[in-house]
Chains A and B, each alone.
Chain A
Amino acid sequence: MKLWQTLLIALIFGGVLVFAAQRSFTPRETVSPDHAAMHFNLGKYQRRSGQPQKALESLLRALANQPQSFGIQAELGNTHLRLGDKAAAAKHFEAALAFQPDHAESHCGLASLLLGENKPAEACQHYREALKTEPDELSALNNLAWVLSTTPDESLRDGKSAIPHAERAAELTQRQQPFILMTLAAAYAAAGRFADAIPTAEAALHLAEASNNASLANTLQSQLAAYRAGKALK
């Protein structure tokens, strides 16, 4: 091949590169799932940092790019929950479970909605489903233990079953979370183990006071009084 021929080919291919680059700014219909992940993470950050309305906008953009993502659906459920729109939250949690039936976060979300509707038995079922997939899911452990220890429904109330869940939650948080210790104390009391319930509630009270959480401290003081009187919570 002669020099001018090779140069001509190089110039033509070089021209193709420049031409192709110019064409790169043309739009298309579909959007890559990678962009959905970006909006999804932005939405997650915004919800958790107390900006649920902005989170909703980001998550809806993510959902438009990837409508079958159970993660986005569940995050939308949590965001609607934060905004107080329970019906929309339930719709998104159910949609997430339709795509991924063992999605722990969605089971927890639905459970919290059912508790709000005073349906503790159904809520417990969803918490148990969540724990099948994620045995260390803290909110499921704590909330299930709390419901089992404090529900007035005698057929559901089961302090002994609540204790392992509450103890695991306490272990996961190194016994440093007053809410978790409050649940553990309630579980001990429901099982009749007041000798364990009292020091656990005292430890929770100490942590609440150390973190200047006055309302929780007041609640714990009244619970402590009940335990000292040999009464479990209902």
Chain B
Amino acid sequence: MEDEVKTAPQAWFSSTSIFLVAFILAMAFSLATDRAWEDYLITYRSSKNLVEGHGLVFNQGERVHTFTSPLGVLVPAFCHWITFRGSDEAALWLFHVFGGLAFAGAAAFMHRTVTSLRFPSAIAGLLMLWLVTDAKSVDFSIDGMETGFLLLFVSYILWSLFACSHRSALHLGLACGGLMWTRPDGVIYIAALSLGVLLFAPGDKPRREWLRTLGTAAGVCTLVYLPWFAWAWSYYGTPVPHTITAKANAVGVRTLWGALQTWLMLPVSMFRGVGSLDGLFMPSGWFYGGWPAWLLPVTRFIAGLACLVWLLPRQRAEVRVVSFAASILMAYLGYFPGLNPAPWYLPAAAWLALFSLGGLKSRLVLPFGIAWLVLSMWQLVEFTRLSAVEQKLVDGGNRRAVGEWLKANAKPGDTLFMECLGYLGYYSGLKTFDYPGMSSPELVQASRRVGLEWHQLIGELKPTWLALRPLEAAKLMQKAPSLLTQDYRERRIFDVSGEVEHLDVRGQGLLAFDSIFIVFQRQEVAP
């Protein structure tokens, strides 16, 4: 394990070319899939309300903080405003471009960092290609989520820590501030990397100097984030996004001890398969099925390995910092949101893990790197195919059709209960009681009174409409047989299963999940 190149390597790519490569790939993915992720439409409803003068709210007149990412709601608002408030498609496409630029900027920062750290040129080149072909990173950078910005600011942090020679504390503070504007739980990313820096003291700086740098950066970060924090507190009455309150209510109590146990169990998880390591390098929605069986154990093992690099002796301190941070993030993401964290949480951790693997001082990295690149490119191609079908037939087809039908058939004041809030909430325009209540404080309060069982929540809230997947309807029939036959009546089944079930794409399970919806209307208001 001593292949480190001591002289300045001849880089495969310049930072400009890696920026362009990343941007071209992101735009090609957008073009191929025309992707608009479910959760984008949750935030976009608030973005649009802001631009239309109704406030930064999901439902007009209700000051509820129904989004997690400030940038994720403000950038789409800007896109809607700058496209003359005329077309949702134009706003989304502009957001695709901003997301693609952020993704490309992230890749450029990473390139500058690995070049500065003098990674061998072949390894640096491979690492850059791993990053820009990571399917989830490409997807969630352009599909309306905040992931592109998350990657940008995490990469900016790494550059500030390891490659910036002038005003590094200022850059670090700006990067951390940007990360906080991207996701409030960016503080975990910042804490994990800071802890790693203090543990391994990379570069020539002694720990005391690192402490000073981190302290200054914390001050800058606070100044950058404070305006949003103060405004959100004054506007919504709390600085904590309601999305976090609702999810925390559904997943139950979480403790630091539990997170520590998850972290300590990572070496076991890489073989046994419970937790966030499963999803780190798998395509999103992998758990619905349809991918080759060998893919999960292979990617899980590699993910686990990346989280253990910091334990290996004689590695670069910078690489150990990043690997340590990746391991903390995997424990955080695998414990607090639940065992299978949402796929858009994972790309930043995936980039840190890939950086750790690329930075390993071992002869095995080059052959492994070539094999991994092939796997990564294959995943990206297959995932592009899956995403194109999902967008056209399931998200843009079935889910949107349900929302539009509800808009046409519901009356003013009607309410809607369902799990998948994005398309149904946006296109119906109805007041929503979504599970677990991200748009609805009423649902969170009801769940505290009667519990989280759907039949109890529906009985308590009495929504006018229900939009259920077959599994959800079957469970309700089992738990409360009269609910769907006496209190509600079936109005329409939306079924695209016939169109998607014979398509020759990998990851078919994802297509099945939302291929059928059953819409019910409450009996006393049925015509």
Task: Enumerate chain A interface residues (CB-CB to B < 8 A).
Answer: 1, 3, 6-7, 9-11, 13-18, 20-28, 31-35, 37-39, 41-42, 44-45, 48-50, 61, 65
Asked if residues B503 and A10 are in contact (CB atoms below 8 Å), the reply is no
Kindly list chain A residues whose C-beta atoms are within 8 Å of the C-beta of B33. Answer: 21
Q: Once the chains are docked, how many angstroms separate the CA of A25 from the CA of B391?
A: 12
Asked if residues B32 and A18 are in contact (CB atoms below 8 Å), the reply is yes
- Name 24 interchain pairs, CB-CB below 8 A, sorted by A: A1-B13, A1-B125, A3-B20, A10-B21, A13-B377, A14-B28, A15-B28, A21-B384, A28-B502, A32-B289, A32-B501, A32-B509, A34-B288, A34-B512, A35-B501, A35-B508, A35-B512, A37-B471, A38-B469, A41-B469, A42-B470, A45-B477, A48-B474, A48-B478
The DSSP consensus for interface residues of chain B is helix
B residues 442-460 near A (Cβ < 8 Å) are: none
Q: Tell which of A11, A17, A37, A61 touches B29, judged by Cβ atoms closer than 8 Å.
A: A17
The DSSP consensus for interface residues of chain A is helix
Asked if residues B473 and A3 are in contact (CB atoms below 8 Å), the reply is no
Kindly list chain B residues whose C-beta atoms are within 8 Å of the C-beta of A20. Answer: 32, 381-382, 384-385
B residues 473-527 near A (Cβ < 8 Å) are: 473-474, 477-478, 481, 484-485, 490, 493, 497, 500-505, 508-509, 511-513, 515-516, 518
Asked if residues A38 and B470 are in contact (CB atoms below 8 Å), the reply is yes
CB-CB under 8 A for A27 and B24, given A34-B513, A41-B470: no
Q: Once the chains are docked, how many angstroms separate the CA of A34 from the CA of B515?
A: 11
Q: Tell which of B133, B290, B473 touches A32, judged by Cβ atoms closer than 8 Å.
A: B290
Q: Once the chains are docked, how many angstroms separate the CA of A18 from the CA of B513?
A: 25
Asked if residues B389 and A44 are in contact (CB atoms below 8 Å), the reply is no
B134 to chain A, nearest CB (A): 14
Interface range on chain B: under 10, 10 to 19, 20 to 34, or 35 or more?
35 or more
Q: Once the chains are docked, how many angstroms separate the CA of A18 from the CA of B515?
A: 24
Kindly list chain A residues whose C-beta atoms are within 8 Å of the C-beta of B497. Answer: 35, 38-39, 61
Kindly list chain A residues whose C-beta atoms are within 8 Å of the C-beta of B502. Answer: 27-28, 31
**Shortest Cβ distance from A31 into B: residue:** B501
A194 to chain B, nearest CB (A): 34
Asked if residues B470 and A28 are in contact (CB atoms below 8 Å), the reply is no
Q: Once the chains are docked, how many angstroms separate the CA of A41 from the CA of B495?
A: 13
* B461 in contact (CB, < 8 A): no
Q: Once the chains are docked, how many angstroms separate the CA of A204 from the CA of B511?
A: 48
* B157 in contact (CB, < 8 A): no
Asked if residues B513 and A45 are in contact (CB atoms below 8 Å), the reply is no
